[in-house]
A and B are shown apart, each in its own frame.
Chain A
Amino acid sequence: MTDVRIDETRTSERAPRIGESAPRPDGIPKVDGSFTFSSDLWHDRMLWGGTLRSPHPSARIRSIDIGPAVAVTGVHAVLTAADVPGNPAYGLEHADQPVLAADVVRYEGEPVAIVAADHPEAVRLALEAIVVDYESTVPLVDPGAAESSDPIHPDGNLIRRIHLRHGDQDVVGEVVVEGTYEVGMQDQAFLGPESGLAVPAEDGGVDLFIATQWLHVDRDQVAACLGLAPELVRLTLAGVGGAFGAREDLSLHAHLCLLALHTRRPVKMVYSREESFHGHVHRHPARMWYRHHADRAGNLLRVEARLLLDGGAYASSSGAVIANATCFAAGPYRIPSADIEGVVVRTNNPPCGAMRGFGAVQTCIGHEAQMDRLAAALDMDPVELRMRNVLASGDRLLTGQVITGTAPVAEVLRTCADHPSAAALSEDPMSLPGGAGRTADPEHVHRGEAIALGFKNLLFSEGFDDFSSALCRLEDGIATITCACAEVGQGFVTLAQQITREVLGVDDVVLTPASTATVGSAGSTSASRQTWMSGGAVQAACEEVRTTLLTRVAAEHGVDPDELVMADGRVMSLAGALDIDLASVTTEPVEADVEFHHAPTSPLDEYGQGDAHVSFAFSAHRAIVDVDRDLGLVKVVELTTSQDVGRVLNPLQAVGQLEGGAAQGVGLAVMEEVQVLDGRIRNASFTDYLVPTALDMPPVEIAALIEEPEPGAPFGAKGIGEPPSISSTAAVVAAIRAATDLELAHVPVRPTDIALAGA
C-alpha cells in the first residue's frame, strides 16, 4: 500500500441525467485552487527527480561521466541508458524513441540522464555536474530534404507515405486553382506541466501516479522498458491539468519508475514550463500543395494534393496523423477523383504527434483556402460553392468508404452561415486590433468575414480495435463505476454518472479512481472517442446489471422482467403492483464487467482505399475579424459555429468543448507557433509562446448543435472535442485574407506577413 490517495468522484443529490447540464465536480476546485493536480502529489519519504537534456539537436555522445553528480550531497541515483533493464526504446506506433539517449541525440532536449536526490536543489546541482562529451553533428532540419538525406535513425527518415488515388485519374476541370500553404508547429500548451510520483512496491513492482491520456498503453510501454510483467506496473490517474494530445506519449513515466525502483524510494518529478516544451510532442508543421478542379457550375471534379508533415526526431503517432491528413485532405465534400500524397518524415526537429484535430487541422487550412480560391475563380459565393459540394450520408469519401452514419453537413454549414451577426465596430480601444497596446484607432481597422467547414473521424481507424472496459457494481442502492478512462478535462466524470443514473435510475453514483490495477483498458482519451467508447462501456455495464437485477426481482415476485423498470432509486412494475426500494434488493451486490468494441474497420490499401473509419463529425465556423493592416495586428471579433454532435448529453460541457476548441483554433490562426530555428526552440516559455487571452478570444456564438443520432453511438452522441479546433483556424485565417486581400500562405498569420506584405 502507498500513502498516496486519489479521491473518487461522488455525487448524491438528485443529479442530472442524460441531456441535462451537469456541472463538473472538479470545476470549482480547479478555480479555487483546491484541486489536486499531479504536480501536487506528495509522499513523506519521497525523493525529487530531474532530467538532463541534450543541448544539441543532433550529436554523438562520446562519453558520459556521472561521477561528479553521484558525489553531490543528497543524490541517491544518477542513471543513464545503461541502467534501463528492459526495452531501451518506446513509442506509440514504433518503439523508436530511447528511454535515455545512448550514443546519439536526435533533438534538442532529448533526455540523456536522470537523477534522484533528496531536494530539488541537489537535483539541479547533480544535473549540472554530469559531464557529457558531445560531438555535435549537422542537424537535419528541412523536412523537404529528409528523404534524400542520410538516415538519422536506424528506422530511416521516412515515417510513412500514403499515396491515395481515387476515381478516374485523367479528369481535368474547366476551372483549376492551385495553392501552397504552410502551417507552423503548435503546442498543446496545457497548464499543468508533466508530473508524477512513482512508488516502489513490496512485490518488486511499482505504482505510478501520473497525469496521462491512456493508462494501459503507458503501462505496457513502461513495463517493457523496465523489463517487468505488466501486472507489476500499476498506473493510477492523478489530477490532469489539460492534455490535448501532449500526454499520449510517455514523457517522465519510465524515468520516474526507473528512479523509484533503483532507490527503493518514492520519486516525484515535475517539469518546468520550458522543459515541458521539450518534454512532449507538438502538432506537426505542414507544407501543403493543392490543385482543385471544378466545372463551371462549381461542381468539384478532382483534388490533387501533396502533404508533407515534419514528424521530428521520433515516430510517435505520426503514422496515424498522416493517415488522417491524407484521408480528410480535401474536406467534407463530394469529390469523384483524387490524387493525394501524404508523407511524414523524420528530422532533428522536436518530435511531433497527437494534438486535438490530429492531422485534420492542417489540411482544413489547406482545403478551405482552396475552396475560397475556387469560389473567387468561379465568381461564386463561397457558401454556395460549399453547399453545392457538401457530403451527405450515403456519399463516398476519397478512401472509397461510403458514409453509413449521419452526415448533416449541409445543415451545419447553412445554420452557421445564416446565423445573424451581432458584431458592431467597437469604439473601445481595448477591442480594436492591438488591444491594450492602444495602437489602432477605428479608422485604421479593416473588417473581414469568412466561413470554413471541416471534419474528421471519430475513434481510432485503420483496423484498430480501441475498445473500452467498465465495471458496474450496484449495492445498497449505490452504483459504483470503475473505468480506466482518463479524465483530462473532457467531462467523462460527469458523463459516466449521467449515463449510470439514466440506465439504473439511481442518484448515488461513485466513480472510482482510474487505474490499471482495477479494470481493463479504456483506450486513449483522444480521437473524440471517450464519450462513445467509455460512455458505451459504462452504458453496457449498467444495462447488464439492470438486466441481472430485474431478472432476479421478477423471479422472486413472479412477474415478467419486461414489466419492471428502475427509476428514482426504486424497482417498479409498469402496472404499478410492485414498488420496491432499490437498496433493499441490492444488499447483495449485482455486478457486470464489460468490454465495449466499435464496429471493425479495415486498413488502407496501397491506393489509400478502404473502410478505414468508424464515424465522422462535421463543424463550421464563421469568423469576423478586424485587422490593422499597417501594423498587421488582428482582433477576432466574433466566432460563430455549428456542429454535428449526434446528441447533446451535457449541454454545459458541450458548450465548454466548443469554446475551448475554438480558442485553440484562434491561437493557431494568429499567434501560436513553436518557433524552431536550426533544430532549436526559440520560444519555450509562456512569455514568448503566446496563447489567446480574454482580449484575443471573442465570445463563441453557437448557431446550432445539429442533433441527428449516430447509429452505434451511446444515446446517439458523437464525440465533440476535436471539430471545434478544426474549422476555427481556417475560418479566422480566411477572414484575415478577406480583410487584407493577401494570400497569407503561412499559419499562424504573423504581423509581418500583413504589414510588410508589399515590401
Chain B
Amino acid sequence: MEAMSVTFARTVDDACAALAEHPGALLLAGGTDLMVGVNRGQVRFADVVVLDRVDELRGWRREGDEIVLGAGLTYAEMGRGELPALVPALAQASRTVGSPQIRNAGTLGGNVATSSPAGDTLPVLAALDATIDLRSAQGARRLAIGEFVTGVKQNALEPGELIEAVRVPVLDGPQEFLKVGTRNAMVISVVSLALVVDRSGRNVRVGLGSVSPVPLRPADAEAHIAGCIDWDTGSAPDAAAVHRFAALVAGAARPIDDHRGTAAYRSHAVGVLARRALLRAFPGGAS
C-alpha cells in the first residue's frame, strides 16, 4: 500500500501547491460530506489537503456592494454577527442545515463543491447571482454559480483547483429561504426555495433546490412578477399575480420521484413556497 499524505495548509497558496504536488488529492474542509462518503467506502483517496487552518478562507469582507464570503465560513458563522442583516437568505438557509454540530463544522465551500441538488446554500446563491472565485497553482478564475454547478454532484472545478470565496451582492429588499423536509429540523431538503428582492434592480429573483439536477432559476416567474409590482410604491402584487407566480414556479420545477418525496409533491410544494415567500416579502398582499 502506498503512503498517504496529509497536508495541513496554512495559506491558499500552500493548499494550491499541495494540490499541484499531489494530483487527485482530496480537499477536506469540515468533513461533513466527505467523511460520510469515506465511512461508507464510497470515497477512497491517498492524499488529503486540509483546509480548516487556512485563515484566508475563514472570514468574510465587504467590497463595495459585494460580500466576499470565504469558502471556509461555517454555517454557524454565516448565521451570526452582521451577515444575517446583509444576506438574510443565506443566514436563514444556514440555520436549516443539519444540527448544531454540523453547522459548526460544515462550510460554504464544502456545500458548493459538493454541488448536491439538496445543498441548501445553492438556491440562495442562485437567486443572488453569486460568483465563485476559484484558485489553483496556475492562477485564479471566476465563474457564475450557474456555470459552476453542472449536474448532480458535478461542477466545473478542475483538478488542482479550489474554491477560495463566494461573492454575493448586498441587495436592497427582503429575502426569504424556505425548506420543506419530513422532519422539523436536521433534514435533507425535499424542496427548497430562496427569494430575493432587488429594489434598485427592480426584480425578484428565485432559486429552487431539490427540484432539478442543478439549482434552478424560474425565469418566467421572475419576469412575470417583476412586471406586477409597482416598484415606485413597493405595493404588493394582487391575488391573481401571486397565483400565477406560484404556478410558474411550480411549472419550472423538474423534480423526480425518490424516497424523500414524489415529483408531484415537490412541484406542488415549491408552488406553495413561492407564494408564501412572495407574500412575506410583500406583506399585505393577497393571501
Contact = CB atoms under 8 A, between A and B. Distances in A.
A209 B276 CA distance: 56
Contacts of A272: 39-40
Contacts of B40: 272, 274
A560 B268 CA distance: 82
B180 A439 contact: yes
Contacts, number: 103
Contacts of B264: 752, 756, 759
Given A438-B92, A631-B272, A671 B182 contact: yes
A690 interface: yes
Main secondary structure of the interface of B (DSSP, over half): mixed
Interface in A288-307: none
Given A438-B177, A438-B178, A756-B268, A693 B280 contact: no
Contact of A755 (B92, B99, B269): B269
Interface string B176-190: 111111111111111
Given A675-B259, A683-B259, A752-B265, A441 B280 contact: yes
B285 to A, nearest CB: 13
Nearest to A444: B276
A752 B178 contact: no
B96 A436 contact: yes
Nearest to B39: A272
Nearest to B269: A631
A239 B83 CA distance: 45
A438 B195 CA distance: 13
Contacts of B176: 438
B260 interface: yes
Contacts of B182: 670-671, 690, 750-751
Nearest to B193: A439
A696 B180 contact: no
B287 interface: yes
B179 A695 contact: no
B139 interface: no
A635 B261 contact: no
A433 interface: yes
B180 A631 contact: yes
A752 B182 CA distance: 10
A720 B18 CA distance: 60
Interface in B133-190: 176-190
Interface in B182-205: 182-190, 192
A633 B189 CA distance: 13
A460 B192 CA distance: 49
Contact of B184 (A124, A635, A675): A635
B256 to A, nearest CB: 13
Interface residues of A, number: 39
Nearest to A670: B182
A422 to B, nearest CB: 19
B185 A696 contact: yes
Contacts of B95: 436
Nearest to B177: A438
A438 B261 contact: no
Contacts of A670: 182
A693 B178 contact: no
B265 A435 contact: no
A124 B41 contact: yes
Nearest to A435: B184
B242 interface: no
Nearest to A691: B183
A103 interface: no
B49 interface: no
Contacts of B99: 693
A2 interface: no
A444 B273 CA distance: 12
A437 B270 CA distance: 13
A93 B160 CA distance: 59
B178 A671 contact: no
A217 B265 CA distance: 47
A437 B265 contact: no
B11 interface: no
Contact of A443 (B188, B261, B287): B287
B104 interface: no
Nearest to A440: B276
B5 interface: no
Most chain A beta-carbon contacts within 10 A, residue among B36, B184, B268, B273: B184
Given A124-B41, A272-B39, A437 B180 contact: yes
B235 interface: no
A694 interface: yes
A155 interface: no
A148 interface: no
A359 interface: no
A433 B178 CA distance: 12
Contacts of A755: 265, 268-269, 272
Interface string B72-102: 0000000000000000000010011001000
Interface string A600-630: 0000000000000000000000000000001
Interface in B17-65: 36, 39-41
B280 A696 contact: no
A242 interface: no
Contacts of B185: 430, 435-436, 693-696
B183 A692 contact: yes
Given A631-B272, A756-B268, A439 B183 contact: no
Nearest to B36: A687
B177 A751 contact: no
B262 A434 contact: no
A597 interface: no
A688 interface: yes
Given A272-B39, A439-B273, A696 B265 contact: no
A441 B276 contact: yes
A140 to B, nearest CB: 22
28 contacts: A272-B39, A274-B40, A434-B178, A434-B181, A434-B184, A435-B185, A437-B179, A437-B184, A438-B178, A439-B179, A439-B180, A439-B276, A443-B287, A630-B272, A631-B273, A671-B182, A688-B259, A690-B183, A693-B183, A693-B184, A695-B184, A750-B182, A751-B261, A751-B265, A752-B262, A755-B265, A756-B264, A756-B268
Interface of B: 36, 39-41, 92, 95-96, 99, 176-190, 192, 258-262, 264-265, 268-269, 272-273, 276, 280, 287
The 9 closest A-B pairs by CB, nearest first: A435-B184, A695-B184, A437-B179, A682-B259, A695-B185, A752-B265, A436-B185, A690-B183, A630-B272
Interface of A: 124, 272, 274, 430, 433-441, 443-444, 630-633, 635, 670-671, 675, 682-683, 687-688, 690, 692-696, 750-752, 755-756, 759
Given A124-B41, A438-B92, 17 more contacts: A434-B180, A435-B184, A436-B95, A436-B179, A438-B176, A438-B179, A441-B280, A631-B269, A632-B265, A671-B182, A687-B36, A690-B183, A692-B183, A694-B185, A750-B182, A755-B272, A759-B268
